[in-house]
Amino acid sequence: MLTAYAPVLLLCLMVFGFAAVNLVLSEFAGPKRRAVGKGLAYECGMRPEGSARLRLSIHFYLVAVLFILFDVESVFLILWAVGAKEFSAAGVGMLVFTEILLFVALLVLALAYVWRKGGLEWDR
């Protein structure tokens, strides 16, 4: 039973060994140039102004999460569209089409709810 996992264990050991060897080699063989400005934040060649601890509104993150959510759901629609011909050939085309219509209706309902609640406005 355990011998079936031996190749996976060997691969993991090789990966961790490779990473460890690269870290050790870069520490000993790499250039050692310590500069004063090396630890500073890089701001496209400009001097940093103000604090790096900028407070953003929670609405910005809400819009970002909603974008990711609806974007992933649109990927599901693309996958359905690619496989639509196989579904109709298998005889379950109408059932799958009804399920997709229900899925899209649920998406539209969720988008209308978020829009009504003002979840798509991060500048308020």
Q: Tell me what pLDDT residue 62 has.
A: 83
What residue type is assigned to position 60 of the chain? F
Query: Would you say 104 and 77 are in contact if contact means Cβ atoms under 8 Å apart?
Result: yes
Tokens in use for 4? 């079936």
Q: Tell me what pLDDT residue 86 has.
A: 84
| Cα–Cα dist 57/123, whole Å | 8
Query: Would you say 122 and 62 are in contact if contact means Cβ atoms under 8 Å apart?
Result: yes
Q: Tell me what pLDDT residue 55 has.
A: 79
Q: What is the pTM of this model?
A: 0.51
pLDDT greater than 80 at residue 19: yes
**CA distance readout (Å), 7 to 3, 17, 18, 63:** 8, 15, 16, 44
Q: Tell me what pLDDT residue 13 has.
A: 97
Q: What is the pLDDT of residues 45-96, one digit of tens each?
A: 676 677 777 777 777 888 888 888 888 888 888 888 888 888 877 788 888 8
**What does the angle CA 9 – CA 12 – CA 15 come to, to the nearest 5 degrees?**
150
Mean pLDDT across 4-32: 92
Which residue has better confidence, 80 or 34? Answer: 80
